[in-house]
Amino acid sequence: MEHAINARIAHLESAARSISRQIGRTEFFADMIDWHAMTIEECRLMSMQEDHLAETLAETEMELDFRYEQLCLTAH
């Protein structure tokens, strides 16, 4: 069981790093966009993408916290 938890933690940590990089790239490109030249739909899609990434990262971090606790409990 501990091996499975460690594998899941490694996967989640990798996913969290990837999502964080995606958020960073999205924010970087958002800073370079001429928002006045974009359509309302394009702005909405960009905002939805940022919201989705933030929610996914929060869910990943919550599961990571749970797995860390689970690992600590199996160690005792």
Q: pLDDT for 29-58, tens place per residue? A: 888 888 788 899 988 998 899 999 999 999
Which pLDDT band holds residue 76 (cuts at 50, 70, 90)? low
pLDDT of the residue at 10 = 93
Q: pLDDT for 2-36, tens place per residue? A: 888 899 999 999 999 999 999 999 888 888 888 78
Task: Indicate the pTM of the whole model.
Answer: 0.77
Q: What are phi and psi of 3, to 5 degrees?
A: -65, -40
List Cβ<8 Å contacts ≥24 apart for 4-12.
Answer: 5/67, 5/70, 5/71, 5/74, 6/71, 8/67, 9/64, 9/67, 9/68, 9/71, 12/60, 12/63, 12/64, 12/67
pLDDT at 64 over 70: yes
Query: Which strand (E) or helix (H) includes residue 45?
Result: helix 40-75
